[in-house]
């Protein structure tokens, strides 16, 4: 019988180890501020 | 074979987004007849809806800032200074729908609203800065009228008529002063003719129009003083047929 692994456990195992110093890309929006924000 | 992954959503700082935003800002400035030119401050959001091969609909949310160039000024937008925070900045929020067909952009719809920064924000940074005043404030109207009369009484140039008041700021401390900016147009009268009968002076027809811009500062207390500076742009061929300017409109929204 196939036993369904607990999600947390599966997530733990499936989580791809991130390299040290990994910086997630900035969100695509909103974009940069060209002058100042009011 | 696995389906091709969907294209990554456009980022707000991607070159394609910036090109669309620049196109949209030029369209907005080119189709406005009131107030000032606006410059892009930030692309808040972009959404692309493919319609077919090389045919996309783009929805842009833009954050603009007012510049010091009146909308009738021939100065290119890139040479227009964005009004600083302490000059009581005005922000424009625009939603624009564009079509990109075979790489060519066109604006299908645009809606903008402008609003000034809050007085609290300005005073927090600059306690003595003048603040924007209502364009129909009696002291503002009196200052514009005095400034235009003063210019017309001193100049050998054509007699100028008021087109619209662009902005006005008032200060009560440490002195009581009013500063105004307004758009003007040359009439078919010389200043001397206008002294005879100003009512007969008409704005020049569109093909000879000569618009200009005046700034004036009036000290009210502790003493009275008035300084005026008017510049005419010279005749410009309108970029495309625009609705005629109402006589004394001071509309602020473009839509």
Give B170-198 pLDDT, tens digit per residue: 999 889 999 999 999 999 998 888 888 88
**B222 contact partners, CB below 8 Å, separation of at least 6:** B175
Q: What pLDDT shows up at residue B122? A: 95
Q: What pLDDT shows up at residue B236? A: 74
Determine the length of chain B. Answer: 255
Q: Which residues of chain B have pLDDT under 70?
A: 237-255
Q: What pLDDT shows up at residue B198? A: 86
What's the whole-number mean pLDDT along residues A34-38?
Answer: 92
Inter-chain touch B89–A28, beta carbons under 8 Å: no
Q: B113 has which bridge partners?
A: B93
Q: For residue B81, which of B38, B118, B23, B115 has the smallest C-alpha distance?
A: B38
Q: Least CB-CB distance to B12: which of A29, A35, A36? A: A29
Confidence of residue A2 (pLDDT cuts 50, 70, 90): low
pLDDT, mean over chain B: 90
Return the residue of B nearest to A35 by Cα: B41
Question: For residue B18, which phi and psi values (nearest 5 degrees)?
Answer: -65, -35
Q: Least CB-CB distance to B43: which of A31, A35, A36? A: A31
**B64 contact partners, CB below 8 Å, separation of at least 6:** B25, B28, B38, B39, B40, B41, B91, B92, B93, B94, B112
Residues of B with CB under 8 A from a CB of A: 9-14, 17, 39-46, 63, 65, 82, 85, 89, 91, 117, 121
Q: How far is CA B165 from CA B8, B161, B182, in A?
A: 46, 11, 4
Q: What pLDDT shows up at residue B104? A: 97
Q: What pLDDT shows up at residue B239? A: 56
What's the whole-number mean pLDDT along residues A2-21?
Answer: 61
Which single residue is written with the structure tokens 């473009």?
B254
pLDDT digits (tens, 9 = 90+) for A13-34: 556 677 787 777 777 899 999 9
Q: B67 has which bridge partners?
A: B82
Q: What pLDDT shows up at residue B2? A: 78
Q: What pLDDT shows up at residue A25? A: 74
């Amino acid at each position: 019988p196939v036993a369904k692994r607990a999600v947390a456990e599966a997530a733990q195992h499936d989580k791809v180890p991130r390299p040290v110093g990994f910086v997630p890309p900035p969100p695509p929006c909103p974009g940069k501020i060209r002058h100042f924000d009011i | 074979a696995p389906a091709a992954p969907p294209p990554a959503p456009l980022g707000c700082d991607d070159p394609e987004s910036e090109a669309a935003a620049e196109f949209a800002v030029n369209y907005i400035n080119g189709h406005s007849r009131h107030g000032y030119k606006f410059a892009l401050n930030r692309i808040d959001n972009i959404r692309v809806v493919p319609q077919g091969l090389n045919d996309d609909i783009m929805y842009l949310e833009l954050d603009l800032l007012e510049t010091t160039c009146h909308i009738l000024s021939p100065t290119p937008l890139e040479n227009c200074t964005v009004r600083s925070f302490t000059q009581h900045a005005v922000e424009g929020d625009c939603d624009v729908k564009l079509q990109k067909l075979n790489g060519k952009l066109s604006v299908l719809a645009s809606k903008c609203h402008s609003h000034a920064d809050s007085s609290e924000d300005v005073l927090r940074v600059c306690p003595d800065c003048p603040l924007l005043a209502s364009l129909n404030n009696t002291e503002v109207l009196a200052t514009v009228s005095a400034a235009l009369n003063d210019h017309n009484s001193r100049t050998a140039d054509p007699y100028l008529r008021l087109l619209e008041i662009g902005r006005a700021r008032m200060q009560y401390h440490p002195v009581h002063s009013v500063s105004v900016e307004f758009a003007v147009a040359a009439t078919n009268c010389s200043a001397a003719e206008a002294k005879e009968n100003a009512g007969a002076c008409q704005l020049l027809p569109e093909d000879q129009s000569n618009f200009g811009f005046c700034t004036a500062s009036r000290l009210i207390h502790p003493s009275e003083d008035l300084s005026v500076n008017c510049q005419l742009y010279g005749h410009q061929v309108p970029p495309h047929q625009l609705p005629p300017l109402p006589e004394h409109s001071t509309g602020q929204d473009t839509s």
